[in-house]
Amino acid sequence: MNAPRLLLALFVIGGSLGADAAAARTRDLGDLEAAWHDCVREAYLRQPPGQSRAGAQRNVLDECREHEDQLVAATMLEHARQDEAARRAGLPLTARAGAWAASVAAYVVDPVTSWLQGWR
Q: In this structure, are 106 and 62 located in the same domain?
A: no
pLDDT of residue 66: 95
Whether 72 and 33 have beta carbons less than 8 Å apart is answered as no
**pLDDT(9) > 80:** no
- What's the CA gap between 85 and 111, in Å, rounded? 27
Same-domain check for residues 110 and 64: no
**pLDDT tens column, 64-116:** 999 999 999 999 999 899 888 877 887 787 887 888 888 877 777 677 677 77
100 and 116 part of one domain: yes
- pTM beyond 0.75: the answer is no
Total of domains in the chain:
2
Q: How many CB atoms lie within 10 A of CB 30?
A: 10
- Same-domain pairing of 27 and 69: yes
∠ CA 6-88-1, nearest 5°, is 15
